Amino acid sequence: MRDAQLTINRSALLHNLRQVKLAAPHAKILAMVKADGYGHGALVVAETLSPHVDALGVAFLEEALALRMAGIRCPIAILEGVFSSDELAAALSAQCYLVVHQVEQIALLQDYQGTLTTRVWLKVDSGMHRLGFSPQAAIAAYHQLQSFPAVKEIILTSHFACADDLLSPKTQQQIEVMEQLAQVLPPLAQSLANSAGILAWPQTHQQWVRPGIMLYGSSPFAAITADELNLQPVMTLRSRLIATQSVAAGETVGYGGTWLATQDTLLGVVAMGYGDGYPRHIGGDTCVLINGQRVNIVGRVSMDMMTVDITNIRAKRGDEVLLWGEGLSADEVATSANTISYELFCQATARANRIII
Ligand SMILES: Cc1ncc(COP(=O)(O)O)c(C=O)c1O
Protein backbone atom coordinates (compact mmCIF):
# COMPACT_ATOMS: atom_id res chain seq x y z
CA MET A 1 0.00 0.00 0.00
CA ARG A 2 1.22 3.48 -0.82
CA ASP A 3 2.30 5.03 2.42
CA ALA A 4 1.63 8.74 1.94
CA GLN A 5 0.10 10.18 5.09
CA LEU A 6 -1.47 13.46 6.01
CA THR A 7 -1.65 13.79 9.77
CA ILE A 8 -3.93 16.27 11.50
CA ASN A 9 -2.80 17.03 15.03
CA ARG A 10 -5.70 18.17 17.19
CA SER A 11 -3.57 19.08 20.17
CA ALA A 12 -1.58 21.45 17.93
CA LEU A 13 -4.88 23.03 16.89
CA LEU A 14 -5.83 23.56 20.53
CA HIS A 15 -2.36 24.87 21.31
CA ASN A 16 -2.73 27.44 18.52
CA LEU A 17 -6.17 28.39 19.78
CA ARG A 18 -4.56 29.10 23.15
CA GLN A 19 -2.19 31.50 21.37
CA VAL A 20 -5.22 33.32 19.96
CA LYS A 21 -6.66 33.61 23.47
CA LEU A 22 -3.35 34.83 24.87
CA ALA A 23 -3.07 37.47 22.16
CA ALA A 24 -6.71 38.61 22.31
CA PRO A 25 -7.91 37.65 25.79
CA HIS A 26 -11.03 39.80 25.80
CA ALA A 27 -12.42 39.03 22.36
CA LYS A 28 -14.88 36.37 21.31
CA ILE A 29 -13.50 33.97 18.73
CA LEU A 30 -14.92 33.16 15.33
CA ALA A 31 -12.65 30.34 14.15
CA MET A 32 -12.34 30.09 10.39
CA VAL A 33 -13.12 26.61 9.09
CA LYS A 34 -14.03 27.56 5.52
CA ALA A 35 -12.53 25.69 2.57
CA ASP A 36 -12.73 22.41 4.47
CA GLY A 37 -10.94 23.87 7.45
CA TYR A 38 -8.18 25.34 5.28
CA GLY A 39 -7.76 21.83 3.85
CA HIS A 40 -7.44 20.20 7.27
CA GLY A 41 -10.98 18.78 7.30
CA ALA A 42 -13.73 21.14 8.43
CA LEU A 43 -15.44 18.54 10.56
CA VAL A 44 -12.45 17.47 12.60
CA VAL A 45 -11.43 21.09 13.07
CA ALA A 46 -14.97 22.11 14.04
CA GLU A 47 -15.31 19.19 16.46
CA THR A 48 -12.00 20.05 18.06
CA LEU A 49 -12.50 23.79 18.31
CA SER A 50 -16.23 24.30 18.78
CA PRO A 51 -16.31 23.61 22.54
CA HIS A 52 -13.71 26.36 22.98
CA VAL A 53 -14.78 29.10 20.54
CA ASP A 54 -17.83 31.32 20.16
CA ALA A 55 -18.53 30.65 16.48
CA LEU A 56 -17.13 29.06 13.35
CA GLY A 57 -16.70 30.83 10.01
CA VAL A 58 -17.50 29.37 6.61
CA ALA A 59 -17.69 30.99 3.20
CA PHE A 60 -21.11 29.86 2.00
CA LEU A 61 -24.30 28.12 3.06
CA GLU A 62 -23.43 24.60 1.93
CA GLU A 63 -20.30 24.64 4.08
CA ALA A 64 -22.44 25.57 7.08
CA LEU A 65 -25.10 22.96 6.35
CA ALA A 66 -22.51 20.20 5.98
CA LEU A 67 -21.25 20.99 9.49
CA ARG A 68 -24.78 21.07 10.89
CA MET A 69 -25.63 17.72 9.27
CA ALA A 70 -22.49 16.29 10.87
CA GLY A 71 -23.73 17.41 14.27
CA ILE A 72 -21.84 20.66 14.90
CA ARG A 73 -24.00 22.85 17.13
CA CYS A 74 -21.76 25.88 17.59
CA PRO A 75 -22.95 29.11 15.91
CA ILE A 76 -21.71 29.32 12.31
CA ALA A 77 -21.19 32.59 10.44
CA ILE A 78 -21.63 32.56 6.67
CA LEU A 79 -19.07 35.05 5.41
CA GLU A 80 -20.50 35.59 1.95
CA GLY A 81 -24.06 35.63 3.28
CA VAL A 82 -27.02 34.20 1.39
CA PHE A 83 -28.20 34.86 -2.14
CA SER A 84 -31.87 33.81 -2.25
CA SER A 85 -34.91 33.56 0.01
CA ASP A 86 -34.51 29.78 0.08
CA GLU A 87 -30.92 30.15 1.23
CA LEU A 88 -31.99 32.66 3.84
CA ALA A 89 -34.64 30.30 5.21
CA ALA A 90 -32.16 27.42 5.28
CA ALA A 91 -29.49 29.53 6.98
CA LEU A 92 -31.90 30.76 9.64
CA SER A 93 -33.20 27.23 10.28
CA ALA A 94 -29.59 26.12 10.68
CA GLN A 95 -29.03 28.95 13.19
CA CYS A 96 -26.33 30.62 11.17
CA TYR A 97 -25.05 34.15 11.56
CA LEU A 98 -25.21 36.04 8.29
CA VAL A 99 -22.79 38.49 6.79
CA VAL A 100 -24.72 41.13 4.87
CA HIS A 101 -22.57 42.91 2.32
CA GLN A 102 -24.95 44.05 -0.41
CA VAL A 103 -28.39 45.59 -0.77
CA GLU A 104 -29.91 42.42 -2.22
CA GLN A 105 -29.20 40.69 1.07
CA ILE A 106 -30.95 43.47 2.97
CA ALA A 107 -33.96 42.99 0.70
CA LEU A 108 -34.00 39.26 1.46
CA LEU A 109 -34.16 39.97 5.19
CA GLN A 110 -36.80 42.63 4.63
CA ASP A 111 -38.99 40.17 2.72
CA TYR A 112 -38.52 37.35 5.22
CA GLN A 113 -41.91 36.31 6.61
CA GLY A 114 -40.79 33.70 9.14
CA THR A 115 -40.24 34.00 12.85
CA LEU A 116 -36.57 32.99 13.14
CA THR A 117 -33.94 35.53 14.08
CA THR A 118 -30.19 35.86 13.66
CA ARG A 119 -27.14 37.99 14.25
CA VAL A 120 -26.19 39.99 11.18
CA TRP A 121 -22.57 40.84 10.50
CA LEU A 122 -22.80 44.10 8.58
CA LYS A 123 -19.80 44.10 6.28
CA VAL A 124 -18.08 47.42 5.69
CA ASP A 125 -15.62 47.99 2.90
CA SER A 126 -13.01 49.95 4.83
CA GLY A 127 -10.40 49.69 2.09
CA MET A 128 -10.00 46.07 0.98
CA HIS A 129 -12.46 46.70 -1.87
CA ARG A 130 -13.70 43.16 -2.14
CA LEU A 131 -17.01 42.79 -0.29
CA GLY A 132 -18.99 45.28 1.74
CA PHE A 133 -20.84 48.57 1.94
CA SER A 134 -19.01 51.85 1.78
CA PRO A 135 -19.08 53.53 5.20
CA GLN A 136 -21.83 55.88 3.98
CA ALA A 137 -23.93 53.02 2.64
CA ALA A 138 -23.29 51.05 5.83
CA ILE A 139 -25.05 53.75 7.87
CA ALA A 140 -28.17 53.38 5.75
CA ALA A 141 -27.85 49.60 5.82
CA TYR A 142 -27.63 49.63 9.60
CA HIS A 143 -30.80 51.71 9.96
CA GLN A 144 -32.71 49.39 7.67
CA LEU A 145 -31.45 46.20 9.23
CA GLN A 146 -32.12 47.20 12.80
CA SER A 147 -35.82 47.58 11.99
CA PHE A 148 -36.23 43.98 10.79
CA PRO A 149 -37.71 41.45 13.24
CA ALA A 150 -35.33 38.75 11.99
CA VAL A 151 -32.28 40.78 13.05
CA LYS A 152 -31.61 40.43 16.74
CA GLU A 153 -28.11 41.94 16.76
CA ILE A 154 -25.89 43.78 14.30
CA ILE A 155 -22.13 43.35 14.44
CA LEU A 156 -19.97 45.65 12.34
CA THR A 157 -17.33 43.76 10.45
CA SER A 158 -14.56 44.54 8.00
CA HIS A 159 -11.52 42.74 6.63
CA PHE A 160 -7.93 43.95 6.37
CA ALA A 161 -6.09 43.96 3.08
CA CYS A 162 -2.53 44.29 4.41
CA ALA A 163 -2.47 43.43 8.11
CA ASP A 164 0.34 40.95 7.41
CA ASP A 165 2.55 43.85 6.29
CA LEU A 166 3.61 45.65 9.44
CA LEU A 167 4.98 48.58 7.46
CA SER A 168 1.91 49.21 5.35
CA PRO A 169 -0.15 52.29 6.28
CA LYS A 170 -3.26 50.56 4.94
CA THR A 171 -4.30 48.86 8.18
CA GLN A 172 -4.22 52.12 10.14
CA GLN A 173 -6.28 53.76 7.39
CA GLN A 174 -8.84 50.96 7.58
CA ILE A 175 -8.93 51.25 11.38
CA GLU A 176 -9.66 54.97 11.06
CA VAL A 177 -12.47 54.37 8.59
CA MET A 178 -14.08 52.01 11.10
CA GLU A 179 -13.54 54.42 14.00
CA GLN A 180 -15.24 57.22 12.10
CA LEU A 181 -18.13 54.97 11.19
CA ALA A 182 -18.53 53.81 14.79
CA GLN A 183 -18.86 57.42 15.90
CA VAL A 184 -22.04 57.94 13.89
CA LEU A 185 -23.70 54.65 14.81
CA PRO A 186 -25.00 53.44 18.16
CA PRO A 187 -22.48 51.28 20.06
CA LEU A 188 -22.10 47.99 18.20
CA ALA A 189 -19.85 44.98 18.58
CA GLN A 190 -17.14 44.92 15.92
CA SER A 191 -15.04 42.25 14.23
CA LEU A 192 -11.98 43.28 12.27
CA ALA A 193 -8.97 41.13 13.08
CA ASN A 194 -7.75 38.10 11.12
CA SER A 195 -4.64 36.24 12.35
CA ALA A 196 -2.31 39.09 11.44
CA GLY A 197 -4.60 41.57 13.19
CA ILE A 198 -4.73 39.36 16.28
CA LEU A 199 -0.95 39.07 16.48
CA ALA A 200 0.24 42.47 15.33
CA TRP A 201 -2.59 45.00 15.67
CA PRO A 202 -4.04 44.70 19.19
CA GLN A 203 -6.09 47.85 18.69
CA THR A 204 -8.18 45.90 16.17
CA HIS A 205 -9.30 43.11 18.50
CA GLN A 206 -12.64 44.71 19.36
CA GLN A 207 -15.34 42.25 20.47
CA TRP A 208 -14.75 39.44 17.97
CA VAL A 209 -11.57 38.16 16.32
CA ARG A 210 -11.52 35.86 13.28
CA PRO A 211 -8.39 33.70 13.34
CA GLY A 212 -7.69 31.45 10.39
CA ILE A 213 -4.16 30.55 9.43
CA MET A 214 -2.66 30.88 12.90
CA LEU A 215 -5.02 28.17 14.15
CA TYR A 216 -3.47 25.87 11.59
CA GLY A 217 0.03 26.70 12.78
CA SER A 218 1.33 28.97 10.04
CA SER A 219 2.61 32.49 10.33
CA PRO A 220 0.64 35.25 8.66
CA PHE A 221 3.88 37.25 8.32
CA ALA A 222 6.58 36.73 5.73
CA ALA A 223 9.41 37.72 8.07
CA ILE A 224 8.28 36.03 11.31
CA THR A 225 8.23 32.25 11.56
CA ALA A 226 5.47 30.16 13.10
CA ASP A 227 8.03 28.92 15.65
CA GLU A 228 8.75 32.48 16.68
CA LEU A 229 5.01 32.99 17.18
CA ASN A 230 4.81 29.78 19.23
CA LEU A 231 2.46 28.18 16.72
CA GLN A 232 2.52 24.44 16.05
CA PRO A 233 1.87 22.81 12.67
CA VAL A 234 -1.47 21.03 12.57
CA MET A 235 -0.96 19.31 9.20
CA THR A 236 2.05 17.09 8.56
CA LEU A 237 2.49 15.52 5.14
CA ARG A 238 4.71 12.45 4.95
CA SER A 239 5.56 9.73 2.51
CA ARG A 240 8.40 7.27 1.88
CA LEU A 241 11.30 6.62 -0.44
CA ILE A 242 10.07 3.96 -2.84
CA ALA A 243 13.35 3.65 -4.76
CA THR A 244 16.89 4.91 -4.93
CA GLN A 245 18.71 5.62 -8.14
CA SER A 246 22.33 6.35 -9.03
CA VAL A 247 22.80 8.98 -11.67
CA ALA A 248 26.15 9.66 -13.33
CA ALA A 249 27.57 13.16 -13.63
CA GLY A 250 26.26 14.78 -16.80
CA GLU A 251 22.87 13.03 -16.75
CA THR A 252 19.62 14.91 -16.38
CA VAL A 253 16.75 13.96 -14.12
CA GLY A 254 12.99 13.92 -14.62
CA TYR A 255 10.56 15.46 -17.10
CA GLY A 256 12.11 18.01 -19.38
CA GLY A 257 15.58 17.05 -18.13
CA THR A 258 15.62 20.28 -16.16
CA TRP A 259 18.12 19.14 -13.52
CA LEU A 260 21.64 18.21 -14.45
CA ALA A 261 23.79 16.06 -12.18
CA THR A 262 27.12 17.89 -11.92
CA GLN A 263 28.59 14.94 -10.01
CA ASP A 264 27.69 11.29 -9.53
CA THR A 265 24.49 11.52 -7.51
CA LEU A 266 22.34 9.20 -5.44
CA LEU A 267 18.67 10.02 -5.83
CA GLY A 268 15.74 9.01 -3.67
CA VAL A 269 12.34 8.66 -5.29
CA VAL A 270 9.56 9.89 -2.99
CA ALA A 271 5.97 8.72 -3.37
CA MET A 272 4.50 12.20 -3.43
CA GLY A 273 3.64 14.50 -6.29
CA TYR A 274 1.32 17.19 -7.50
CA GLY A 275 -1.48 14.61 -7.61
CA ASP A 276 -1.29 14.71 -3.83
CA GLY A 277 -1.32 18.50 -3.75
CA TYR A 278 2.42 19.05 -3.51
CA PRO A 279 3.19 22.16 -5.59
CA ARG A 280 4.69 21.45 -9.00
CA HIS A 281 6.32 24.84 -9.33
CA ILE A 282 9.01 24.96 -6.67
CA GLY A 283 12.29 26.75 -6.36
CA GLY A 284 15.58 24.87 -6.68
CA ASP A 285 16.18 25.21 -2.94
CA THR A 286 13.03 23.37 -1.84
CA CYS A 287 13.72 20.73 0.79
CA VAL A 288 12.21 17.63 2.32
CA LEU A 289 13.27 15.98 5.58
CA ILE A 290 14.58 12.42 5.61
CA ASN A 291 15.55 10.98 8.97
CA GLY A 292 15.68 14.54 10.27
CA GLN A 293 18.05 15.64 7.50
CA ARG A 294 17.18 18.28 4.95
CA VAL A 295 17.71 17.34 1.32
CA ASN A 296 16.86 19.13 -1.90
CA ILE A 297 14.19 18.18 -4.36
CA VAL A 298 15.80 17.87 -7.80
CA GLY A 299 14.09 17.86 -11.18
CA ARG A 300 10.41 18.48 -11.75
CA VAL A 301 7.81 17.28 -9.31
CA SER A 302 5.66 14.78 -11.21
CA MET A 303 2.13 13.57 -10.50
CA ASP A 304 2.93 10.74 -8.12
CA MET A 305 6.61 11.13 -7.39
CA MET A 306 9.49 13.47 -6.90
CA THR A 307 13.23 12.91 -6.74
CA VAL A 308 15.54 14.13 -4.00
CA ASP A 309 19.30 14.26 -3.74
CA ILE A 310 20.38 11.84 -0.99
CA THR A 311 24.05 11.67 -1.97
CA ASN A 312 25.22 13.17 1.31
CA ILE A 313 22.88 11.57 3.81
CA ARG A 314 22.15 8.09 5.12
CA ALA A 315 18.86 7.09 3.54
CA LYS A 316 17.44 3.93 2.04
CA ARG A 317 14.35 2.68 0.31
CA GLY A 318 11.41 2.67 2.75
CA ASP A 319 12.65 5.61 4.80
CA GLU A 320 10.12 8.21 5.82
CA VAL A 321 10.09 11.56 4.02
CA LEU A 322 8.49 14.62 5.58
CA LEU A 323 7.19 17.13 3.04
CA TRP A 324 5.89 19.74 5.48
CA GLY A 325 4.71 19.93 9.05
CA GLU A 326 6.62 18.95 12.17
CA GLY A 327 10.23 19.95 11.54
CA LEU A 328 9.80 21.65 8.16
CA SER A 329 7.28 24.44 8.03
CA ALA A 330 4.67 24.66 5.32
CA ASP A 331 5.50 28.37 5.23
CA GLU A 332 9.04 27.53 4.09
CA VAL A 333 7.84 25.18 1.37
CA ALA A 334 5.23 27.72 0.31
CA THR A 335 7.82 30.46 0.00
CA SER A 336 9.96 28.19 -2.20
CA ALA A 337 6.89 27.52 -4.31
CA ASN A 338 6.13 31.24 -4.55
CA THR A 339 2.84 30.82 -2.74
CA ILE A 340 1.43 30.84 0.79
CA SER A 341 0.81 27.95 3.16
CA TYR A 342 -2.95 28.62 2.91
CA GLU A 343 -2.77 27.40 -0.67
CA LEU A 344 -0.64 24.36 0.12
CA PHE A 345 -3.09 23.27 2.81
CA CYS A 346 -6.15 23.81 0.61
CA GLN A 347 -4.56 21.87 -2.24
CA ALA A 348 -3.63 18.79 -0.22
CA THR A 349 -5.78 16.15 -1.87
CA ALA A 350 -7.62 13.18 -0.38
CA ARG A 351 -5.03 10.87 -1.91
CA ALA A 352 -2.75 10.65 1.11
CA ASN A 353 -4.19 8.67 4.03
CA ARG A 354 -5.61 11.04 6.57
CA ILE A 355 -4.70 10.30 10.14
CA ILE A 356 -6.21 12.28 12.98
CA ILE A 357 -4.18 12.32 16.17
C1 LIG B 1 -13.40 37.67 6.17
C2 LIG B 1 -12.26 36.87 6.71
N3 LIG B 1 -11.96 36.95 8.00
C4 LIG B 1 -10.93 36.24 8.53
C5 LIG B 1 -10.15 35.43 7.76
C6 LIG B 1 -8.99 34.69 8.37
O7 LIG B 1 -7.79 35.15 7.86
P8 LIG B 1 -6.40 34.49 8.30
O9 LIG B 1 -6.44 33.08 7.82
O10 LIG B 1 -5.37 35.29 7.59
O11 LIG B 1 -6.35 34.58 9.77
C12 LIG B 1 -10.43 35.33 6.39
C13 LIG B 1 -9.59 34.48 5.54
O14 LIG B 1 -9.52 34.54 4.38
C15 LIG B 1 -11.52 36.06 5.85
O16 LIG B 1 -11.82 36.00 4.56
* Whether pTM exceeds 0.85: yes
In which band, very low, low, confident or very high, does the pLDDT at 356 lie, cut at 50, 70 and 90? very high
Write down the CATH number for the domain with range 10-216.
3.20.20.10
205, pLDDT greater than 90? yes
Q: Provide, rounded to the nearest whole percent, the portion of the chain with pLDDT above 70.
A: 100
Region 194-215: what's the mean pLDDT? 98
Q: What is the DSSP string of 31-76?
A: EE-HHHHHTT-HHHHHHHHGGGSSEEEESSHHHHHHHHHTT--S-E
CB 248 within 8 A of CB 261: yes
For 285, counting Cβ atoms within 10 Å of its Cβ (0-12 exposed, 13-18 middle, 19+ buried), the class is: exposed
Gap between the Cα atoms of 349 and 233, Å rounded: 18
For 41-63, write each residue's pLDDT tens digit.
999 999 999 999 999 999 999 99
User: At 30, is the pLDDT very low, low, confident or very high (cuts 50, 70, 90)?
Assistant: very high
Residue 301 banded pLDDT, cuts 50, 70, 90: very high
Domain map (residue ranges) of the chain: 10-216, 235-356
What pairing do the DSSP bridges indicate for beta strands 265-270 and 235-247?
antiparallel
Catalytic residue from among 123, 152, 255, 316: 255
pLDDT (tens digit per residue) in 140-161 = 999 999 999 999 999 999 999 9
Q: Is 28 a catalytic residue?
A: no
Regarding the beta carbon of 4 and ligand 1, being less than 6 Å apart is answered no
Cα 202 to ligand 1 centroid, rounded to whole Å: 16
Query: Hey, whose CA ends up nearest to atom 8 of ligand 1?
Result: 212
pLDDT at position 284: 86
255 is catalytic: yes
Q: How far is the CA of 200 from the centre of ligand 1 (A)?
A: 15
Question: What is 235-356's CATH number?
Answer: 2.40.37.10
Question: Which pLDDT score, from 0 to 100, does residue 1 have?
Answer: 79
Question: What pLDDT sits at residue 2?
Answer: 84
Q: 195 CB under 6 A from ligand 1?
A: yes
Q: Which residues of 59-83 are buried (b: 16+ CB within 10 A; e: fewer)?
A: ebbebbbebbeeebebbbbbbbbbe
Mean pLDDT of the chain: 97
79 lines ligand 1 (CB under 6 A): yes
Distance, CA 225 to ligand 1 centroid (Å)? 19
